[in-house]
Amino acid sequence: MDYFITGGSGFIGRRLIKKVLQRPNSRVHFLMRAAHLDRVPDLLAYWGVEADRAIPVVGDMTHPLLGVGSAELEPLIGKVDHFLHLAAIYDLNAKAGIQQQVNAEGTRQALQLAERLQARCFHHCSSIAVAGLFDGLFREDMFDEAEHLDMPYFQTKHEAEGIVRKESTLPWRIYRPGIVVGDANTGEMDKVDGPYYFFKTIQKLRRMLPPWMPAIGVEGGRINLVPVNFVVDAIDHIAHLEGEDNKAFHLTDSHPMRVGDMLSTFSRAAHAPEPAIRINAALFSFIPRHLMTMLMALTPVRRIRDAAIADLGLPKDIFRLINYPTRFDNRETQRVLKGTGIEVPPLHSYAWRLWDYWERHLDPELFIDRTLRGRVEGKVVLITGATSGIGKATARKLAEAGAKVLTIARDEHKIAETQAEFAELGLTLQVYQGDLADLAHGEAITRQIVAEHGGVDILINNAGRSIRRAIEDSFDRFHDLERTMQLNYFGTLKVIMGLLPTMIEKKKGHIINISSIGVLTNAPRFSAYVASKSALDAWVRTAASEFADKGVNFSIINMPLVKTPMVAPTKVYEQVPMMTPEEASDLVCDTIINKHVRLATRLGVFGQVIHALAPRVAQVIMNTSFRTFSDPKEGNESKASADQMAVSTLIKGIHF
């Protein structure tokens, strides 16, 4: 038995070919683009057959008669038993033009080719999308009753099936699969589609929250999911039955789940919080369709919507499908499959396989270059204060990764010492000497950097001054506030505002500010330091909002206590667990790689939450640490009491 198959290298097609080749004396001719012929050996290995049983036919879905030349066409005339047309574009984000060309006109050309070959039956893999957004039960014998076909995929699949129904001179059979997901036995899938669009959100919730914490989800219409192995087995069986011509078959789940139940099932499979509280999306259906269209046409609404769905990795039309209104009658399919064992398994029995395969093979993060070298090689990076502590450790790692590292520093001895260290390692650190607390210095150096390097790709604002002193001891030391603000806020802003215009012009750049966990916890004894860092954080958040559409990224790292020269004068810290500069530099590198908007320890986030939800309790907690870690007396600076050790261990990394 001879078969001609389009889409044979696709997700469904290559499995269907493997299935039909298991039949005795079967031979498959499959359409392939000339540019993809190098894939044939791998396909033959997958199917487990010799080249004489699976024969590529060079062609193109966008050409007349699929681009099949007469030399390949003539020998097949009268010899094809089954012409299976599976090729199509199934992508909610695809342009309408290419979908029309492939899905609709491609089907017409496939049908004409099948007629030229005098195939005995034309099998068309359609979709439940032919129903559009029909409100109610859509039977297998229904077609013209479809509603709301304004989405390109819906429209082109409906048109394609109409071509088969109205123009075919051959017997035909139409298969309408539901939303096809991975193999129920292996989890294998080839792209992010359907429910997979929600997997990234589920993964984010798992990373943020413990699995026992209830989450808020959405309740919607019934979503019809079918594993690819069911679709393949069903098509293979129905295609070879006698007396079933000129019929359509719904390859669907007889008991489809609601969207909310589906998301709960996948959340359990991912060990993520389940959406215990669900918002019924149908509540928004009272808005007339034309009014919703007008609302979404407004630029502010459209931009906010597009930004939200882009952050979640969702296609633009996904929310229209949440309240999917169509249910599918599949009694004809049930009739022909009765007694075969071919059926849709319950989702909970294989959801974990789908999730595991996605996380191991399809997660978009897997295809992003997450190496530091991939992010910084050949780029100009400016790190202020790179002659010691966090800045020095970060500069070394970036230089080793191939970045061109610049720094602004004022101490001649430290500059010489650091450059010598880098030279011994075969690394280069270009130093611009100046004091950022002197705003004129900062402005001049920034102009020089722009002139020599055309700006920078990444700016890491690390230089800072910290003063540890209780407010009660600072009544006559107002200059502490002035000194700290001068460097940490005004000096830093001079650098940012000097480099930001070139980033805006290039529509790319990344500004990272080393802030403090004290900003989140309101740490006692650091009023001057925390105030300066809080001011900078607020400015950065405002700037991030203003330049969100300019390609410039802003990041804030609320760094915990780090063992640097800044904290060395405070002897009690010798007994306190601290992060090393190398560990802190890892946080900076992680921010460069992943472009975090804010990176903070869980302790810092917890402190921020407590201050927001129970401010009085937060004040008592911080006051307790304040009193526990009283200012040391002369001669007893390095000794820590049992209470101090207990508290420091409990809240590791906080500025006491």
CA distance 607 to 522: 9
- C-alpha torsion sign, points 556, 560, 562, 567: positive
Element (H, E) at 309: helix 299-312
Structure tokens at 340: 């075969």
Q: Are the C-beta atoms of 516 and 608 separated by less than 8 Å?
A: no
CA distance 282 to 596: 34
What pairing do the DSSP bridges indicate for beta strands 222-223 and 257-258?
antiparallel
Beta partners for residue 173, in sequence order: 123, 247
Q: Is 620 exposed, middle or buried (0-12, 13-18, 19+ CB in 10 A)?
A: exposed
What pairing do the DSSP bridges indicate for beta strands 172-177 and 380-384?
unpaired
- Residue 282 CB: number of other CB atoms within 10 A? 13
Structure tokens at 386: 């790179």
CA distance 464 to 486: 10
Q: How far is CA 482 from the centre of its chain?
A: 43
Coil, strand, or helix at residue 638? coil
* Type of residue found at 106: G
Q: Pick from 578, 554, 550: which is nearest to 564 by CA?
A: 578
CA distance 389 to 123: 69
Q: Are the C-beta atoms of 324 and 222 separated by less than 8 Å?
A: yes
* Type of residue found at 486: Q
User: Per DSSP, which regions of 101-165 are E strands?
Assistant: 121-125, 136-138
Which residues are tagged catalytic? 529
Polymer length in residues for the chain: 656
- Residue 646 CB: number of other CB atoms within 10 A? 12
Q: Pick from 385, 412, 491, 504: which is nearest to 450 by CA?
A: 504
- Residue 505 CB: number of other CB atoms within 10 A? 12
Q: Are the C-beta atoms of 200 and 312 separated by less than 8 Å?
A: yes
Residue with tokens 């300066």: 532
